[in-house]
Structure 1
């Protein structure tokens, strides 16, 4: 028998939905991950996520589980109770099946509003067999927020209600349908599965919890063929830290605070290049608590170049078991300033620095072994050299083999070029110096040589001086407050003058329409139809936003900019398969020196978003190019032409 339920209602200010749903969960993966977490807490054994074949009118995303479901009273008392604390209500942080609960704040249910206008809930109670269907409208909740107070709750549309029926209890579960989607791009199902898997550590419990996306199970592939070293398994004899036990390839140890952690770190053969994979992710109760990071480490430690090869996971359930919540609402980061999280932060810093040093040694040995094998094609040519000369060249090649950032092809090209240079009587002093290097100080020099096929030190120094001269030219343009478009065009023609790592970047025009669309959506009334400078190199995309002369970056600017880059990252990766990373740089005359503004910039940098003033940007660029020059000068300090370059002003170098 079907009847109409008396009514359901929700009591809160509409602004709450805007903050807890729309503002926090604008990524489909983030939004749906929250709903999957609710299914876990409802003791569901299976969750099916159905993505639409194409975004457009009528497109829907459906999340269906076979959990315990809800009665009508529970819909009112639990689901429509903003901030409902299931742990407190049940007096336990475990589900009836004994699972550690993922939910804590009682607001993840509103995550769907981040990507959809309507959230329709159909639920059948395992306890009574009641079937209840109701719908929430984000527009109504937000726009009507000023028309009712807490004493005047908003009525929720009940589409259907069927009273208790024991025969229906076997159909228990909940289905949530998201409609009138705000997504611009159709989600890629394969990428969606991978991203979902990286948010959960559930594969070990696949027998009791399975998540499918478009009828295929999410996977936790580690790309085994791409991994070079895995720890703790690859610790050599005597390297395993004290107190670490190895269980099924995972390290298990107890922190000084008494809390237990499990961890596994891997190093890939090549730089990873994926934001979701580069760095260490922290999970609590099988769910992501901290997006990949390096435990807030800064520079100045051995093997630092290995950070782009490093990926790992840490299980720290204790983070979600504290009286005070340590995990941000959208479960992207941990509050590392709290006493309860400090032991894990310090442990992570120690473990990462230690493994980077070990990786550096292993990588160097592997390079040397590979070098010796690759020496075979050069054996005849080396044999033609006098013994002292052969010794010098072999030592130089060994020094190059220690540089972990060179791949095998680059090493082979460089070895060939160095042998040819020696045989031709060129750069003998330079190669001799390189053969005597027993540290990594030669790395920058060798990178220059690898890229330039062993250019002469003098020619390279002249090149560096010309770069410095162009930076001075840019400084003059800034001082004269030239128009934003002219400054942008100047950098577009010479992107490397701001940073040597931009040397290979070029203007990218293929994404212009998407950039304009995202900027207009993100900035709203602040959008002035300008086009940012968009550069690309390989699979990397860099968007540089120039603020108008005289403006100072403040908190509001950063919020709009963060939202812009965040939206652009997801839109670009969804539409353009050739780009795997999207970075943003905001440049202005001045940065507000308020503590919260500077802290926010520091927080954005690990997520490929940076903001700086012209003085800071150009100052860093000058320092990098000057360091290059100093290295080159040290290779030929007695050369009169090199001395002349060293004493010349930047303007004279042109």
Structure 2
């Protein structure tokens, strides 16, 4: 006769227990997910979760089909029982036709992550049975190289009448999280099958969990739904713009498709939730339960819109019965080299590109209208802009309106600084660059500095100083000054060569700085050592420009310029190679006073000679330089009246 204490038997290796049980999960929601998934697989219609106010115990009770002693031993207590493979009748679909969630047979071990004592009792076919497991007893049995026999519960301790009941005792308090409210939200975000439509409810302390407990959809200002998914109208009444997305790639297998939605909040801080966790991410479900906590991280998309993004998608093809299991042991992440997952990432990436384009349009439309309502002066400024500039300005205002600023006076200050900076960048032809860079208050302030500095650089002082600089340069040229004088002046006013170089302060390096910068190049030829680079400049795009100046009255020959330019290129390549830049983009610009013979007689030869030095190399004349600078900066004069008007608008905001 079998001893009563040996009625139940569990076989488990200590390493399995520690790695797939005690140390597998770090929070209570992940653990309870496994218990709830088991209730779903048992065809339960209800799962009741009760948490002791003093955190002494947690109960999970379902009204499913329950388990007999044989079931408890052969299925529940057998670690690694693979129902989908071993149960021919209801391994993949339950008697109710539900797709089975469980797969590896490891979920029951997760309970040991939060409790040292677990009681299991179950009722089936008129009988009820139960036992108690403890971590200490299991470890002892393993160390003694014995099978572990959970202790049966006394008959009067069995309170279950239908289904299965789990009681967790000796709770590890550090893993309980932030309480029942947080647990409700976190569980809601781990299942998409909660509700009447699926005949399945979860209650915590008697209160049902609903889809609204997830807290993410109510945050959506703009919504994108995949074809075939239609949320309850009452849950999206607050959404101001909505669009449909395809549910699959055309080339996919017909059974592959996604469902669900993606949304963007009005402000990133709207997605902060102390209880549910940060909602800035895309949750992936398969068979109605969490499969990937945040697939957005895997997309490696750093664009601004992702800071506003949230969503839930279903992708059942990730967990197909006839395909290998790609979920990790805790079933919260996946093996990322699986073709199904790769295809999902590619599909989401393509849809998010569409989403980002529409998001920019909708944001500009709604945020600008809201800002204009609060500030008529702002509306006046926008109306004063040409259409091309107005689009960038509206994008700027939309970004500023969504920055995390609580005080509206502070937001108005941001608008003021933003307008001043925009006008400054407009004069310099770089509003696109400026608007694209405004992603946070810190970045904005770094661009703007302070208002006085902006006004100093924006108003008529700029006009006067630039035009005076051009006149002074012309006097130097007219006086046929020495090369060193011309070199020093152009070094301090690089914008004379090209207005776009104005923003590169501090990146120019004269010959002494280039060779004395701590870079040792041993293989320069004697000819290269004697060569002198007047100015070396590296653009923000990574282009290196060498500028060689000649006295205004000196007559140069093409062959002389070509030889000198090639020497500079060879020399600079060796120096840059020592800086780990093996294929630099280099241009040589010769600034001369008198035209060379080939400019008139053989322009094709001139062109090929310059290209032989390096692509983009060219000759410019001092007179052309001065005339071009005068034309480029004469626009500042015309801006004077507009700037007076702008100052009045800004003061009214």
TM-score tier after normalising by the smaller chain length: 0.5 to 0.7
Distance, in Å, in 2 between the alignment partners of 1:209 and 1:391 is 55
Equivalent runs, 1:59-138 vs 2, <5 Å: 59-91=56-88, 92-125=91-124, 128-138=125-135
Relative to structure 1, the CA distance from residue 378 to residue 18 in structure 2 (aligned partners, 3 Å threshold; closer, same or farther) is closer
1:206-252: per-residue Cα shift (whole Å, max 9, x none)?
Answer: 5611101111111322455532101138xxxxxxxxxx455447866
2:180 to 189, 212, 215: 189
In 2, distance between residues paired with 1:187 and 1:299? 31
User: Given the alignment, which residue of 373, 389, 398 partners 2:394?
Assistant: 398
Instruction: Return 5+ residue gaps in structure 1 as ranges.
Output: 163-167, 234-243, 466-636, 639-654
Q: 436, 443, 455: which is aligned to 1:441?
A: 436
1:392–1:104 Cα change, 3 Å: closer
Question: In the aligned structure 2, how far is the partner of 1:70 from the partner of 1:391?
Answer: 71
Instruction: Tell me which residue corresponds to 2:306.
Output: 307
TM-score between both structures, scaled by the size of structure 2: 0.58
On the 8 A contact 1:276/1:292 being kept in 2, the answer is no
Task: Return the alpha-carbon distance in structure 2 between the equivalents of residues 399 and 434 of structure 1.
Answer: 16
Q: Secondary structure at the match of 1:373?
A: helix
Note the C-alpha offset of 1:173.
1.1
Aligned counterparts of 1:186 and 1:396: Cα–Cα separation in 2: 45
Q: Which moved more, 1:344-353 or 1:181-190?
A: 181-190
In 2, Cα distance between equivalents of 1:292 and 1:223: 13
Structure-to-structure mapping, 1:277-316, within 5 angstroms = 277-294=279-296, 296-299=298-301, 304-316=303-315
The CA deviation at 1:452 is 5.8
- Contact kept, 8 Å, 1:393 with 1:432, in 2: the verdict is no
Range with bigger deviation, 347-356 or 129-138: 347-356
The answer to whether residue 219 in structure 2 is matched with residue 226 in structure 1 is: yes
Provide the C-alpha distance between the structure 2 equivalents of 1:10 and 1:286, rounded to a whole number of angstroms: 30
Pair 141,257 (structure 1): closer, same or farther in 2 beyond 3 Å: same
Partner SS state of residue 319, structure 1: helix
Secondary structure of the 2:351 match is: helix
Structure 2 unpaired stretches of 5+: 233-243, 458-501, 507-631, 634-653
Q: 1:373-452 counterparts in 2 under 5 A?
A: 373-377=373-377, 397-398=393-394, 400-403=396-399, 405-406=402-403, 409=408, 411-417=411-417, 429=424, 432-433=427-428, 436-437=431-432, 440-443=435-438, 447-448=444-445
d(CA) in 2 for partners of 1:129 and 1:229? 53
Aligned to 2:646: none
1:362 corresponds to 2:352? no
- Cα deviation, residue 319, structure 1: 1.4
- Residue deviations 1:421-466, cap 9 Å, x none? 79xxxx97457448954874352697116986636269999xx99x
- Structure 2 vs 1, CA of residues 392 and 309 (structure 1 numbering), >3 Å: closer, same or farther? closer
Structure 1 position 174, deviation (Å): 0.9
Map of 1:153 onto structure 2: 147
> How far apart, in 2, do the equivalents of 1:197 and 1:451 lie?
44
Q: 1:414 to 1:205 in 2, by over 3 A?
A: same
1:373-420 deviation digits (Å, cap 9, x = unpaired): 33415679x79xxx989999978853522436536846532234567x
> RMSD of the alignment, in Å?
3.9
Asked if the contact 1:202–1:286 (Cα under 8 Å) also holds between the matched residues in 2, the reply is yes
2:204 is matched with: 213
Q: How far apart in 1 are the matches of 2:34 and 2:131?
A: 19
Q: Deviations over 1:8-47 (max 9, x none)?
A: 1112212211111111123111111111111111111111
Q: Which has the larger radius of gyration?
A: 2
Aligned mates of 2:364, 2:25 — CA distance in 1: 43
The answer as to 2:359 corresponding to 1:351 is: no
Tell me how far apart the structure 1 counterparts of residues 71 and 164 of structure 2 sit (CA, whole Å): 13
1:203 aligns with 2:194: yes
Q: CA deviation at 1:63?
A: 0.5
**Correspondence for 1:139:** 136
> 1:203 is paired with a residue of what secondary structure?
coil
1:46·1:65 contact (CA, 8 Å) conserved in 2?
A: yes
- From the superposition, tell whether residues 158 and 251 of structure 1 become closer, same or farther in structure 2 (CA, over 3 Å): farther
Counterpart among 165, 189, 196 of residue 175 in structure 1: 165
Structure 1 contact 395–436 (Cα < 8 Å) conserved: no
- The reply on whether 1:326 has 2:321 as its aligned counterpart is no
- Kept after mapping to 2: 8 A contact 1:295/1:349: no
**2:598 is matched with which residue?**
none
Q: Shift of the alpha carbon at 1:324?
A: 0.9
Distance 1:132-1:231 versus aligned 2 partners, 3 A rule: same
* Contact kept in structure 2, 1:245 and 1:251, CA below 8 Å: no
Contact kept? 2:49, 2:204, Cα under 8 Å:
yes
Aligned partners of 1:415 and 1:110: how far apart in 2?
A: 56
Question: Relative to structure 2, which stretch is displaced further, 368-377 or 261-270?
Answer: 368-377
Name the CA distance, whole Å, in 2 between partners of 1:177 and 1:341: 37
CA distance in 2, matches of 1:94, 1:395: 55
Provide the aligned length of Structure 1 versus Structure 2. Answer: 429
| Structure 2 counterparts to residues 610-621 of structure 1, below 5 A | none
- Cα gap change, 1:363/1:98 in structure 2, threshold over 3 Å: closer, same or farther? same
The answer to whether the Cα contact below 8 Å between 2:283 and 2:294 also exists between their aligned partners in 1 is: yes
Specify whether residues 169 and 317 from structure 1 end up closer, same or farther in structure 2 by C-alpha distance, changes over 3 A only.
farther
Q: Which runs of 4+ in 1 moved over 6 A?
A: 387-396, 458-461
Aligned twin of 2:34: 34
Question: Are 1:20 and 2:20 counterparts?
Answer: yes
Per-residue deviation, 1:159? 1.8
Deviation at 1:277, TM superposition (A): 2.1
- Paired with 2:415 and 2:82, the residues of 1 have a C-alpha distance of 64
**Correspondence for 1:253 among 239, 247, 250:** 247
Q: Which deviates more, 359-368 or 397-406?
A: 397-406
The TM-score, its normalising length taken from structure 1, stands at 0.58
Structure 2 distance, partners of 1:415, 1:186, is 41
Q: Say if 1:372 and 1:4 are closer, same or farther in 2 by CA, change over 3 A.
A: same
Is the contact between residue 52 and residue 186 of structure 1 (CA under 8 Å) also seen in structure 2? no
Counterpart of 2:514? none
